[in-house]
Amino acid sequence: MNGIEMKRREFLQATATLSLAAASGLLTRQVFAAQPLNMRIGASDLRVQPVLMYGLTQRQKGRSWRPWGAIQTEQAVTEEIARIDQELKRLAGRAEFGLKTLPVARMNARAQAEALKGANPDALLVYASGGGTDLLEGLAALGKPMVIFVRDRSGPYYLWHEIVDSRFLRSHTDAVKQANAGLEDVVVDSQDEILWRLRALYGLKNTIGRRIICVGGPSGWACPEAPERARQRFQIDMITVTIPQINALIESARKDAAAVERSQQEARAYMNARGVKSEISHGAVSEAFLLKAIFRDLMKQHDACAVTTNGCMGSYAGIMPCLTLTLTNDDGYMAYCEGDFVNIPAGILMHYIAGRPTYFCNPTFPHEGRMLFAHCTAPRRMDGQHLEPVTLVTHYESDHGAATHVHFPKGQTVTIVKPDFEARHWLALTGNIVDHPVLPTCRAQIEVALNARTQDVIRNMRGFHCQIAYGDWTREVAYAAKKVGIEVQRLLPAS
Protein backbone atom coordinates (compact mmCIF):
# COMPACT_ATOMS: atom_id res chain seq x y z
CA MET A 1 0.00 0.00 0.00
CA ASN A 2 1.45 3.41 -0.89
CA GLY A 3 1.71 6.20 1.65
CA ILE A 4 -1.18 8.27 0.19
CA GLU A 5 -3.60 5.35 0.21
CA MET A 6 -2.50 4.38 3.71
CA LYS A 7 -3.17 7.88 5.03
CA ARG A 8 -6.55 8.07 3.26
CA ARG A 9 -7.66 4.81 4.87
CA GLU A 10 -6.42 5.94 8.27
CA PHE A 11 -8.35 9.20 7.95
CA LEU A 12 -11.57 7.46 6.95
CA GLN A 13 -11.19 4.95 9.77
CA ALA A 14 -10.53 7.64 12.36
CA THR A 15 -13.42 9.79 11.06
CA ALA A 16 -15.84 6.86 11.12
CA THR A 17 -14.77 5.96 14.66
CA LEU A 18 -15.24 9.49 16.02
CA SER A 19 -18.55 10.02 14.17
CA LEU A 20 -20.01 6.85 15.60
CA ALA A 21 -18.83 7.74 19.07
CA ALA A 22 -20.24 11.24 18.84
CA ALA A 23 -23.58 10.04 17.49
CA SER A 24 -24.13 7.41 20.15
CA GLY A 25 -22.03 8.61 23.06
CA LEU A 26 -20.76 5.06 23.24
CA LEU A 27 -17.70 3.10 22.23
CA THR A 28 -19.15 -0.39 22.46
CA ARG A 29 -19.07 -3.75 20.77
CA GLN A 30 -22.32 -2.92 18.96
CA VAL A 31 -20.89 0.32 17.50
CA PHE A 32 -17.95 -1.35 15.81
CA ALA A 33 -19.54 -4.65 14.84
CA ALA A 34 -21.28 -3.03 11.86
CA GLN A 35 -18.11 -1.41 10.53
CA PRO A 36 -15.02 -3.63 10.83
CA LEU A 37 -11.84 -1.71 11.49
CA ASN A 38 -8.62 -2.15 9.54
CA MET A 39 -6.36 -3.73 12.17
CA ARG A 40 -3.50 -4.24 9.71
CA ILE A 41 -2.79 -0.59 8.94
CA GLY A 42 0.17 -0.14 6.62
CA ALA A 43 0.11 -3.71 5.30
CA SER A 44 0.47 -4.71 1.66
CA ASP A 45 -0.84 -7.86 -0.02
CA LEU A 46 1.20 -11.03 -0.24
CA ARG A 47 1.89 -11.65 -3.95
CA VAL A 48 2.01 -15.37 -4.61
CA GLN A 49 3.23 -16.98 -7.82
CA PRO A 50 1.64 -20.42 -8.39
CA VAL A 51 3.81 -22.74 -10.47
CA LEU A 52 2.73 -26.06 -11.96
CA MET A 53 5.87 -28.16 -12.28
CA TYR A 54 5.46 -31.14 -14.61
CA GLY A 55 7.12 -33.52 -17.05
CA LEU A 56 5.80 -34.95 -20.31
CA THR A 57 6.44 -38.58 -21.23
CA GLN A 58 6.21 -40.91 -24.20
CA ARG A 59 5.76 -44.64 -24.21
CA GLN A 60 8.96 -46.56 -25.00
CA LYS A 61 8.83 -50.20 -25.96
CA GLY A 62 10.53 -52.70 -23.68
CA ARG A 63 11.76 -50.30 -20.99
CA SER A 64 10.54 -48.16 -18.12
CA TRP A 65 9.31 -44.84 -19.45
CA ARG A 66 6.73 -43.60 -16.98
CA PRO A 67 7.44 -42.15 -13.49
CA TRP A 68 4.82 -42.02 -10.77
CA GLY A 69 2.12 -39.41 -11.28
CA ALA A 70 -1.03 -38.76 -13.26
CA ILE A 71 -0.03 -35.53 -15.05
CA GLN A 72 2.17 -36.53 -17.98
CA THR A 73 0.32 -35.13 -21.03
CA GLU A 74 -0.52 -31.64 -22.26
CA GLN A 75 -4.21 -32.34 -21.76
CA ALA A 76 -3.60 -33.36 -18.14
CA VAL A 77 -1.56 -30.19 -17.60
CA THR A 78 -4.37 -28.00 -18.97
CA GLU A 79 -6.94 -29.74 -16.79
CA GLU A 80 -4.74 -29.41 -13.71
CA ILE A 81 -4.24 -25.67 -14.25
CA ALA A 82 -8.02 -25.23 -14.39
CA ARG A 83 -8.31 -27.20 -11.14
CA ILE A 84 -5.61 -25.08 -9.48
CA ASP A 85 -7.30 -21.86 -10.64
CA GLN A 86 -10.53 -22.87 -8.93
CA GLU A 87 -8.73 -23.88 -5.74
CA LEU A 88 -6.86 -20.59 -5.63
CA LYS A 89 -10.07 -18.58 -6.05
CA ARG A 90 -11.60 -20.40 -3.10
CA LEU A 91 -8.42 -19.95 -1.08
CA ALA A 92 -8.29 -16.20 -1.74
CA GLY A 93 -11.95 -15.93 -0.77
CA ARG A 94 -11.19 -17.48 2.62
CA ALA A 95 -8.10 -15.40 3.35
CA GLU A 96 -8.80 -12.68 5.93
CA PHE A 97 -5.47 -11.05 5.03
CA GLY A 98 -4.33 -9.39 1.81
CA LEU A 99 -3.58 -12.15 -0.72
CA LYS A 100 -2.98 -11.72 -4.44
CA THR A 101 -2.39 -14.84 -6.52
CA LEU A 102 -0.79 -14.37 -9.94
CA PRO A 103 -1.68 -16.50 -13.00
CA VAL A 104 -0.42 -20.09 -12.78
CA ALA A 105 2.97 -20.48 -14.50
CA ARG A 106 3.82 -23.70 -16.34
CA MET A 107 7.28 -25.14 -15.79
CA ASN A 108 8.88 -28.20 -17.36
CA ALA A 109 12.41 -26.81 -17.86
CA ARG A 110 14.75 -25.14 -15.38
CA ALA A 111 15.36 -22.13 -17.62
CA GLN A 112 11.73 -21.15 -17.16
CA ALA A 113 12.40 -20.26 -13.51
CA GLU A 114 14.25 -17.10 -14.53
CA ALA A 115 11.14 -15.77 -16.27
CA LEU A 116 9.31 -15.71 -12.91
CA LYS A 117 11.54 -12.93 -11.58
CA GLY A 118 9.66 -10.36 -13.65
CA ALA A 119 6.44 -11.01 -11.72
CA ASN A 120 8.24 -10.02 -8.50
CA PRO A 121 6.33 -12.41 -6.25
CA ASP A 122 6.74 -12.50 -2.48
CA ALA A 123 6.40 -16.28 -2.39
CA LEU A 124 6.12 -19.30 -4.66
CA LEU A 125 3.34 -21.87 -4.39
CA VAL A 126 4.77 -24.85 -6.24
CA TYR A 127 2.42 -27.58 -7.47
CA ALA A 128 5.02 -30.31 -7.86
CA SER A 129 3.22 -32.79 -10.06
CA GLY A 130 6.28 -34.05 -11.94
CA GLY A 131 9.55 -33.15 -13.61
CA GLY A 132 13.12 -33.48 -12.42
CA THR A 133 14.92 -32.28 -9.32
CA ASP A 134 16.54 -29.52 -11.36
CA LEU A 135 13.17 -27.80 -11.65
CA LEU A 136 12.74 -27.49 -7.90
CA GLU A 137 16.35 -26.43 -7.53
CA GLY A 138 15.80 -23.70 -10.14
CA LEU A 139 12.83 -22.40 -8.19
CA ALA A 140 14.74 -22.53 -4.89
CA ALA A 141 17.54 -20.53 -6.49
CA LEU A 142 15.15 -17.58 -6.88
CA GLY A 143 15.53 -17.05 -3.13
CA LYS A 144 11.80 -16.68 -2.48
CA PRO A 145 9.88 -18.52 0.24
CA MET A 146 8.40 -21.70 -1.23
CA VAL A 147 5.34 -23.70 -0.29
CA ILE A 148 5.51 -27.04 -2.07
CA PHE A 149 2.10 -28.66 -2.63
CA VAL A 150 1.75 -32.31 -3.59
CA ARG A 151 -1.37 -34.36 -4.18
CA ASP A 152 -2.13 -37.74 -2.76
CA ARG A 153 -5.94 -37.96 -2.79
CA SER A 154 -7.05 -34.38 -3.53
CA GLY A 155 -6.76 -34.80 -7.30
CA PRO A 156 -4.46 -36.45 -9.84
CA TYR A 157 -1.55 -38.07 -8.04
CA TYR A 158 1.76 -36.11 -7.98
CA LEU A 159 5.18 -37.71 -8.43
CA TRP A 160 6.75 -35.49 -5.78
CA HIS A 161 4.52 -36.91 -3.07
CA GLU A 162 6.96 -39.82 -3.27
CA ILE A 163 10.32 -38.06 -3.58
CA VAL A 164 10.20 -34.44 -2.32
CA ASP A 165 11.94 -35.43 0.92
CA SER A 166 14.65 -37.79 -0.28
CA ARG A 167 15.55 -36.25 -3.65
CA PHE A 168 15.02 -32.51 -3.13
CA LEU A 169 15.09 -31.60 0.56
CA ARG A 170 17.69 -34.15 1.66
CA SER A 171 19.44 -34.37 -1.71
CA HIS A 172 20.07 -38.12 -1.41
CA THR A 173 21.52 -37.77 2.10
CA ASP A 174 20.15 -38.19 5.62
CA ALA A 175 19.95 -34.46 6.47
CA VAL A 176 18.04 -31.56 4.93
CA LYS A 177 20.42 -29.79 2.54
CA GLN A 178 18.21 -27.12 0.99
CA ALA A 179 18.86 -23.60 2.22
CA ASN A 180 15.63 -22.10 0.86
CA ALA A 181 13.16 -24.86 1.71
CA GLY A 182 12.54 -27.28 4.54
CA LEU A 183 10.28 -30.05 5.74
CA GLU A 184 7.82 -27.48 7.08
CA ASP A 185 7.30 -26.11 3.55
CA VAL A 186 5.68 -29.28 2.16
CA VAL A 187 1.87 -29.61 2.11
CA VAL A 188 -0.03 -32.73 1.13
CA ASP A 189 -3.58 -32.25 -0.18
CA SER A 190 -4.78 -29.69 2.41
CA GLN A 191 -5.83 -26.19 1.36
CA ASP A 192 -5.99 -25.22 5.04
CA GLU A 193 -2.30 -26.07 5.38
CA ILE A 194 -1.49 -23.82 2.43
CA LEU A 195 -3.55 -20.98 3.86
CA TRP A 196 -1.90 -20.74 7.27
CA ARG A 197 1.57 -20.81 5.70
CA LEU A 198 0.61 -17.94 3.40
CA ARG A 199 -0.78 -16.07 6.41
CA ALA A 200 2.58 -16.51 8.13
CA LEU A 201 4.44 -15.25 5.06
CA TYR A 202 2.07 -12.28 4.85
CA GLY A 203 2.93 -11.42 8.44
CA LEU A 204 6.64 -11.75 7.72
CA LYS A 205 6.47 -9.60 4.59
CA ASN A 206 4.79 -6.81 6.53
CA THR A 207 7.26 -7.04 9.40
CA ILE A 208 10.41 -6.88 7.26
CA GLY A 209 11.51 -3.27 6.89
CA ARG A 210 8.73 -1.94 9.14
CA ARG A 211 9.26 1.66 10.24
CA ILE A 212 8.62 2.54 13.89
CA ILE A 213 8.78 5.82 15.82
CA CYS A 214 11.08 5.38 18.83
CA VAL A 215 10.32 8.02 21.44
CA GLY A 216 13.45 8.23 23.57
CA GLY A 217 15.33 6.09 21.03
CA PRO A 218 15.46 2.32 20.49
CA SER A 219 16.62 0.08 23.30
CA GLY A 220 16.43 -3.47 24.61
CA TRP A 221 15.47 -4.68 28.06
CA ALA A 222 18.87 -5.54 29.64
CA CYS A 223 20.18 -6.04 26.09
CA PRO A 224 21.88 -3.08 24.37
CA GLU A 225 22.44 -5.21 21.25
CA ALA A 226 18.69 -5.70 20.68
CA PRO A 227 18.09 -2.83 18.21
CA GLU A 228 20.92 -3.96 15.95
CA ARG A 229 19.70 -7.55 16.07
CA ALA A 230 16.21 -6.39 15.12
CA ARG A 231 17.74 -4.55 12.16
CA GLN A 232 19.71 -7.63 11.11
CA ARG A 233 16.82 -10.10 11.38
CA PHE A 234 13.90 -7.93 10.29
CA GLN A 235 15.44 -4.75 8.84
CA ILE A 236 13.34 -2.70 11.27
CA ASP A 237 13.60 1.02 10.43
CA MET A 238 13.86 2.94 13.72
CA ILE A 239 13.10 6.69 13.74
CA THR A 240 14.25 8.39 16.94
CA VAL A 241 12.27 11.23 18.51
CA THR A 242 14.07 12.47 21.60
CA ILE A 243 12.35 12.98 24.95
CA PRO A 244 13.01 16.77 24.84
CA GLN A 245 11.37 16.81 21.40
CA ILE A 246 8.27 14.95 22.61
CA ASN A 247 8.07 17.15 25.70
CA ALA A 248 8.16 20.27 23.51
CA LEU A 249 5.38 18.86 21.30
CA ILE A 250 3.24 18.21 24.38
CA GLU A 251 3.76 21.70 25.75
CA SER A 252 2.89 23.18 22.36
CA ALA A 253 -0.29 21.07 22.14
CA ARG A 254 -1.35 22.23 25.62
CA LYS A 255 -1.31 25.79 24.29
CA ASP A 256 -3.47 24.84 21.28
CA ALA A 257 -7.05 25.46 22.38
CA ALA A 258 -8.53 23.37 19.56
CA ALA A 259 -6.27 20.39 20.33
CA VAL A 260 -7.10 20.59 24.04
CA GLU A 261 -10.84 20.82 23.37
CA ARG A 262 -10.69 17.87 20.98
CA SER A 263 -8.83 15.70 23.49
CA GLN A 264 -11.29 16.66 26.23
CA GLN A 265 -14.27 15.69 24.05
CA GLU A 266 -12.66 12.38 23.13
CA ALA A 267 -11.93 11.67 26.79
CA ARG A 268 -15.55 12.37 27.81
CA ALA A 269 -16.89 10.06 25.09
CA TYR A 270 -14.44 7.35 26.09
CA MET A 271 -15.17 7.57 29.83
CA ASN A 272 -18.96 7.66 29.31
CA ALA A 273 -18.99 4.59 27.06
CA ARG A 274 -20.60 1.36 28.15
CA GLY A 275 -18.15 -1.01 29.83
CA VAL A 276 -15.86 1.76 31.11
CA LYS A 277 -15.39 2.49 34.82
CA SER A 278 -12.93 5.08 36.04
CA GLU A 279 -10.94 5.65 39.20
CA ILE A 280 -9.05 8.61 37.76
CA SER A 281 -9.76 12.15 36.65
CA HIS A 282 -11.06 13.31 33.29
CA GLY A 283 -7.91 15.42 32.97
CA ALA A 284 -5.61 12.38 33.04
CA VAL A 285 -7.62 10.69 30.27
CA SER A 286 -7.74 13.90 28.24
CA GLU A 287 -3.94 14.18 28.38
CA ALA A 288 -3.67 10.59 27.11
CA PHE A 289 -5.75 11.57 24.06
CA LEU A 290 -3.61 14.68 23.58
CA LEU A 291 -0.48 12.50 23.44
CA LYS A 292 -2.22 10.03 21.16
CA ALA A 293 -2.77 12.80 18.59
CA ILE A 294 0.91 13.73 18.81
CA PHE A 295 1.95 10.13 18.24
CA ARG A 296 -0.45 9.90 15.29
CA ASP A 297 1.03 13.03 13.73
CA LEU A 298 4.57 11.66 14.17
CA MET A 299 3.61 8.41 12.49
CA LYS A 300 2.03 10.27 9.57
CA GLN A 301 5.05 12.54 9.18
CA HIS A 302 7.37 9.55 8.91
CA ASP A 303 5.02 7.21 7.01
CA ALA A 304 5.02 4.80 9.96
CA CYS A 305 2.28 2.87 11.70
CA ALA A 306 4.06 1.84 14.89
CA VAL A 307 5.45 3.64 17.94
CA THR A 308 7.40 2.68 21.03
CA THR A 309 8.22 4.64 24.18
CA ASN A 310 11.53 4.54 26.02
CA GLY A 311 12.48 6.32 29.25
CA CYS A 312 8.82 6.97 29.99
CA MET A 313 8.82 5.96 33.67
CA GLY A 314 9.61 9.59 34.50
CA SER A 315 6.70 10.70 32.24
CA TYR A 316 6.75 12.89 29.13
CA ALA A 317 6.04 16.42 30.33
CA GLY A 318 3.96 14.90 33.11
CA ILE A 319 2.08 12.37 30.91
CA MET A 320 2.51 8.65 31.53
CA PRO A 321 1.91 7.17 28.03
CA CYS A 322 0.17 3.96 29.20
CA LEU A 323 -3.40 4.75 28.10
CA THR A 324 -2.07 6.42 24.95
CA LEU A 325 -0.44 3.15 23.92
CA THR A 326 -3.69 1.27 24.62
CA LEU A 327 -5.68 3.70 22.47
CA THR A 328 -3.13 3.52 19.66
CA ASN A 329 -3.23 -0.29 19.59
CA ASP A 330 -7.02 -0.26 19.66
CA ASP A 331 -7.07 1.94 16.55
CA GLY A 332 -5.16 -0.69 14.54
CA TYR A 333 -1.67 0.77 14.86
CA MET A 334 1.12 -0.83 16.90
CA ALA A 335 2.33 0.65 20.19
CA TYR A 336 4.85 -0.83 22.60
CA CYS A 337 6.34 0.30 25.86
CA GLU A 338 10.01 0.57 26.89
CA GLY A 339 11.56 0.65 23.38
CA ASP A 340 12.36 -3.04 23.85
CA PHE A 341 13.58 -4.44 20.52
CA VAL A 342 14.20 -7.83 22.08
CA ASN A 343 10.44 -8.13 21.98
CA ILE A 344 8.98 -5.62 19.51
CA PRO A 345 9.68 -7.65 16.30
CA ALA A 346 7.62 -10.52 17.72
CA GLY A 347 4.79 -8.10 18.41
CA ILE A 348 4.82 -6.69 14.89
CA LEU A 349 4.96 -10.16 13.36
CA MET A 350 2.06 -11.52 15.41
CA HIS A 351 0.06 -8.32 14.87
CA TYR A 352 0.12 -8.77 11.09
CA ILE A 353 -0.40 -12.52 11.26
CA ALA A 354 -3.38 -12.30 13.60
CA GLY A 355 -4.87 -9.01 12.39
CA ARG A 356 -5.37 -7.87 15.97
CA PRO A 357 -3.41 -6.07 18.70
CA THR A 358 -0.80 -7.76 20.82
CA TYR A 359 -0.30 -7.20 24.53
CA PHE A 360 3.29 -6.31 25.45
CA CYS A 361 3.67 -7.48 29.05
CA ASN A 362 5.83 -8.75 31.88
CA PRO A 363 5.81 -12.47 32.70
CA THR A 364 6.10 -14.14 36.09
CA PHE A 365 7.44 -17.52 37.18
CA PRO A 366 5.07 -20.35 36.17
CA HIS A 367 3.67 -22.63 38.84
CA GLU A 368 1.01 -25.34 38.99
CA GLY A 369 0.21 -24.92 35.31
CA ARG A 370 -0.48 -21.19 35.57
CA MET A 371 1.34 -17.98 34.76
CA LEU A 372 0.56 -14.35 35.58
CA PHE A 373 1.23 -11.56 33.07
CA ALA A 374 0.91 -7.85 33.75
CA HIS A 375 1.61 -4.42 32.29
CA CYS A 376 -0.07 -1.01 32.25
CA THR A 377 -0.66 -0.81 28.48
CA ALA A 378 -3.02 -3.66 27.59
CA PRO A 379 -5.15 -3.12 24.47
CA ARG A 380 -8.91 -3.51 24.84
CA ARG A 381 -9.68 -4.47 21.22
CA MET A 382 -7.86 -7.77 21.57
CA ASP A 383 -10.08 -9.66 19.11
CA GLY A 384 -9.53 -6.96 16.50
CA GLN A 385 -13.08 -5.56 16.65
CA HIS A 386 -14.66 -5.41 20.12
CA LEU A 387 -13.66 -3.37 23.14
CA GLU A 388 -13.32 -5.36 26.36
CA PRO A 389 -14.68 -3.80 29.58
CA VAL A 390 -12.10 -1.74 31.46
CA THR A 391 -11.43 0.11 34.65
CA LEU A 392 -9.31 3.24 34.13
CA VAL A 393 -6.61 3.51 36.77
CA THR A 394 -3.25 5.18 37.31
CA HIS A 395 0.09 3.84 36.12
CA TYR A 396 1.15 1.48 38.92
CA GLU A 397 4.73 2.47 39.75
CA SER A 398 4.06 6.20 39.70
CA ASP A 399 0.39 6.13 40.78
CA HIS A 400 -0.02 8.88 38.19
CA GLY A 401 -1.61 9.38 34.79
CA ALA A 402 -3.95 6.93 33.05
CA ALA A 403 -3.72 3.19 32.42
CA THR A 404 -6.06 0.24 31.88
CA HIS A 405 -7.18 -2.65 34.03
CA VAL A 406 -8.80 -4.67 31.23
CA HIS A 407 -11.41 -7.24 32.24
CA PHE A 408 -10.17 -10.05 30.02
CA PRO A 409 -12.78 -12.80 29.43
CA LYS A 410 -12.23 -16.07 31.21
CA GLY A 411 -11.74 -19.05 28.91
CA GLN A 412 -10.23 -17.00 26.08
CA THR A 413 -7.42 -18.84 24.27
CA VAL A 414 -4.25 -16.79 23.90
CA THR A 415 -0.86 -17.18 22.24
CA ILE A 416 2.18 -16.29 24.32
CA VAL A 417 5.45 -15.50 22.51
CA LYS A 418 8.58 -15.00 24.60
CA PRO A 419 11.62 -13.90 22.54
CA ASP A 420 15.20 -14.49 23.63
CA PHE A 421 17.84 -11.79 24.03
CA GLU A 422 19.98 -13.10 21.16
CA ALA A 423 17.17 -13.24 18.55
CA ARG A 424 17.81 -16.93 17.96
CA HIS A 425 15.30 -18.91 20.03
CA TRP A 426 11.76 -17.83 20.81
CA LEU A 427 9.26 -19.67 22.97
CA ALA A 428 5.62 -19.97 21.83
CA LEU A 429 2.73 -21.64 23.59
CA THR A 430 -0.99 -21.24 24.19
CA GLY A 431 -3.15 -21.04 27.26
CA ASN A 432 -6.56 -19.97 28.47
CA ILE A 433 -7.35 -16.95 30.61
CA VAL A 434 -8.65 -17.99 34.02
CA ASP A 435 -8.59 -14.67 35.88
CA HIS A 436 -7.89 -10.93 35.67
CA PRO A 437 -6.99 -10.28 39.30
CA VAL A 438 -6.24 -6.99 41.06
CA LEU A 439 -2.79 -7.43 42.57
CA PRO A 440 -0.09 -4.86 43.48
CA THR A 441 1.52 -5.18 40.05
CA CYS A 442 1.25 -3.43 36.70
CA ARG A 443 -2.42 -2.68 36.17
CA ALA A 444 -3.65 -4.97 33.38
CA GLN A 445 -3.30 -8.49 34.75
CA ILE A 446 -4.16 -11.88 33.32
CA GLU A 447 -3.62 -15.28 34.82
CA VAL A 448 -3.32 -17.98 32.17
CA ALA A 449 -3.72 -21.72 32.50
CA LEU A 450 -0.90 -22.98 30.28
CA ASN A 451 -1.43 -25.60 27.59
CA ALA A 452 1.98 -27.10 28.36
CA ARG A 453 3.77 -28.74 31.25
CA THR A 454 4.98 -26.20 33.78
CA GLN A 455 8.53 -27.57 33.86
CA ASP A 456 8.75 -27.46 30.05
CA VAL A 457 7.83 -23.78 30.14
CA ILE A 458 10.36 -23.03 32.87
CA ARG A 459 13.17 -24.84 31.04
CA ASN A 460 12.53 -22.99 27.78
CA MET A 461 12.11 -19.44 29.08
CA ARG A 462 14.57 -16.89 27.70
CA GLY A 463 14.57 -13.09 27.48
CA PHE A 464 12.02 -11.20 29.55
CA HIS A 465 9.00 -9.46 28.01
CA CYS A 466 6.23 -11.39 26.25
CA GLN A 467 3.70 -10.68 23.52
CA ILE A 468 0.17 -12.05 23.93
CA ALA A 469 -2.61 -12.24 21.34
CA TYR A 470 -6.08 -13.75 21.30
CA GLY A 471 -6.18 -17.07 19.43
CA ASP A 472 -3.58 -19.70 18.55
CA TRP A 473 -0.92 -18.35 16.19
CA THR A 474 2.00 -20.49 17.33
CA ARG A 475 2.47 -22.39 14.07
CA GLU A 476 2.39 -19.22 11.94
CA VAL A 477 4.86 -17.44 14.22
CA ALA A 478 7.23 -20.43 14.20
CA TYR A 479 7.02 -20.81 10.41
CA ALA A 480 7.64 -17.11 9.71
CA ALA A 481 10.42 -16.66 12.27
CA LYS A 482 12.38 -19.58 10.86
CA LYS A 483 12.62 -17.75 7.53
CA VAL A 484 14.82 -15.13 9.22
CA GLY A 485 16.91 -17.60 11.20
CA ILE A 486 14.94 -17.72 14.46
CA GLU A 487 13.98 -21.14 15.83
CA VAL A 488 10.73 -21.14 17.77
CA GLN A 489 10.17 -23.74 20.47
CA ARG A 490 6.44 -24.52 20.29
CA LEU A 491 5.17 -26.12 23.47
CA LEU A 492 2.06 -28.10 22.58
CA PRO A 493 -0.69 -29.09 25.01
CA ALA A 494 0.34 -31.87 27.38
CA SER A 495 -1.16 -35.24 26.46
- Look at residue 218 in the predicted model and tell me its pLDDT: 98
Given a cut of 90, is residue 24 above it in pLDDT? no
pLDDT tens per residue across span 177-233: 999 999 999 999 999 999 999 999 999 999 999 999 999 999 999 999 999 999 999
3-state secondary structure of 419: coil
Q: What are the structural domain ranges in the chain?
A: 3-42+206-491, 46-204
For 134-189, how does the pLDDT look when each residue is reduced to its tens digit (9 = 90+)?
999 999 999 999 999 999 999 999 999 999 999 999 999 999 999 999 999 999 99
Short-list 387, 366, 376, CA closest to 431: 366
Residue 28 CA to residue 21 CA, distance in Å, equals 9
SS (H, E, C) 127-196: EECCCCHHHHHHHHCCCCCEEEEECCCCCCCCCHHHHHHHHHHCCCCCCCCCCCCCHHHEEECCHHHHHH
| CATH numeric code, 46-204 | 3.40.50
Give me the chain's average pLDDT, please.
93
Q: Measured on CA atoms in the order 466, 472, 476, 479, is the torsion positive or negative?
A: positive
Q: How far is CA 308 from the centre of its chain?
A: 16
pLDDT for residue 323: 98
Query: What angle, rounded to 10 degrees, do the helices at 282-301 and 322-330 form?
Result: 60
Nearest 5°: the CA angle 230, 345, 433 is 150
For residue 370, report the phi and psi dihedrals to the nearest 5 degrees: -130, 160
d(CA 97, CA 355): 8
